[in-house]
Amino acid sequence: MATWLVTGGAGFIGSNFVLQQRQAQAARIINLDKLTYAGNLNNLAELRHDPDHIFQQGDIGDRELVARLLADYQPDAVIHFAAESHVDRSIHRPETFIETNVVGTFRLLEAVRGYWAGLEPAKRAAFRFLHISTDEVYGSLGPEDPAFTETTPYAPNSPYAASKAAADHLVRAYHETYGLPILITNCSNNYGPLQFPEKFIPLMILNGLQGKKLPVYGDGQNIRDWLYVTDHCEALGLVLAKGTVGASYNIGGRCELTNLEVVNHICRLLDELFPTAASAPHSGLISFVPDRPGHDRRYAMNISKIERELGWTPKESFASGLAKTVRWYVDHPQWVEAVTSGAYRQWLQTHYGFGS
């Protein structure tokens, strides 16, 4: 069995990926995660007795720790999810985004380069460094613009997007300069189980369930291209197995919706599940709040390259994926309770002016 070092595997997408790949027994996984506010060991609870999932709490920027993990476990691939990921937090406090997404990625690359250079030739040739990035590096589209392709010039607008763009450039440079066998994926907005409820969809579901305001930024007409998280994880598995070294792949859901369309869809699902709730119809909770500074108007991904070259296509429709997601949050009150403790309430207070 192959061995992979996964970074950020206790976060939303990372934990979905680790669960999916362990289910398929695709590889032994060494999971390095700092367990910031966004990292959650409860996400990995079902792997508690799995001898082929080894969790290590730690920072990707800790060169000695990363070098030791690489030397001890001799991975065949590194799959790099770890990042600060929330745009609004990057506006309040950009520094941690530079520390983790830029400096952390740089230090990780340095440690991996040293390890990779010392591998015997066959293992060296087969090694892969898969870097997980975002569509936000491409900037914002106008209503009639064609979707982003892999050759769209980078034009990041938030500190988060700029930090991810910097990381992408470093990863690419390590291929061009040192020959490190890298792959980059740029994905659109994910949703699904285990997403921390600072992000739009789980925030709206949980606020709706609790009869709280549903804060929509600006006019609610910003467009995102939504992808169910397990579809993203399957795409990553394929890119790792079959992607062309040095290439980048766009991943998306072919599912452009305005924020108002998404929140209204969530409200309809909550009305169906809880028709007699005091807050039904839930759309009455929608509340327009001041816009996010530098708020990108529209994202859309052209995914023809990954469809054509690797045969991947999203499986889940938005209707089925969103229904599953709402059901998951309804069915996991303990998970919700654990993540919406003190620090989370403080974030709501700082950002929206309401804590509970």
**Residues making contact with ligand DAU (CB under 6 A):** 85-87, 134-136, 188-189, 199-200, 203, 215-217, 222, 224, 259, 292, 299
The helix/strand/coil state of 278 is coil
Query: Tokens 């023809």 identify what position?
Result: 304
Q: Is 12 in the site for ligand NAD (CB under 6 A)?
A: yes
135 is known as an active-site residue: yes
100 binds, among ligand NAD, ligand DAU, none (CB under 5 to 8 A by kind): ligand NAD
# residues contacting ligand NAD (CB under 6 A): 31
Stretch touching ligand NAD by CB under 6 A, among 57-65, 176-184, 241-249, 345-353: 57-65
Q: Is 59 in the site for ligand NAD (CB under 6 A)?
A: yes
- Nearest residue to 11 via CA among 52, 50, 60, 49: 60
Count of alpha carbons within 13 angstroms of residue 261, beta-carbon side: 12
Residue 112 amino acid letter: V
The phi-psi region of residue 193 (left if phi > 0; otherwise alpha if psi is between -120 and 50; otherwise beta) is beta
Given the DSSP bridges, would you call strands 128-134 and 77-80 parallel, antiparallel or unpaired? parallel
Q: Is 81 in the site for ligand NAD (CB under 6 A)?
A: yes
Q: Is 207 in the site for ligand NAD (CB under 6 A)?
A: no
Q: Is 125 in the site for ligand NAD (CB under 6 A)?
A: no
Closest CB 236 distance from ligand NAD, rounded Å: 10
Rounded distance between C-alpha atoms, residue 260 and residue 283, angstroms: 10
Residue 319 forms beta bridges with which residues? none
Rounded distance between C-alpha atoms, residue 309 and residue 249, angstroms: 10
224 binds, among ligand NAD, ligand DAU, none (CB under 5 to 8 A by kind): ligand DAU
Q: Is 61 in the site for ligand NAD (CB under 6 A)?
A: yes
What are the catalytic residues?
A: 135-136, 160
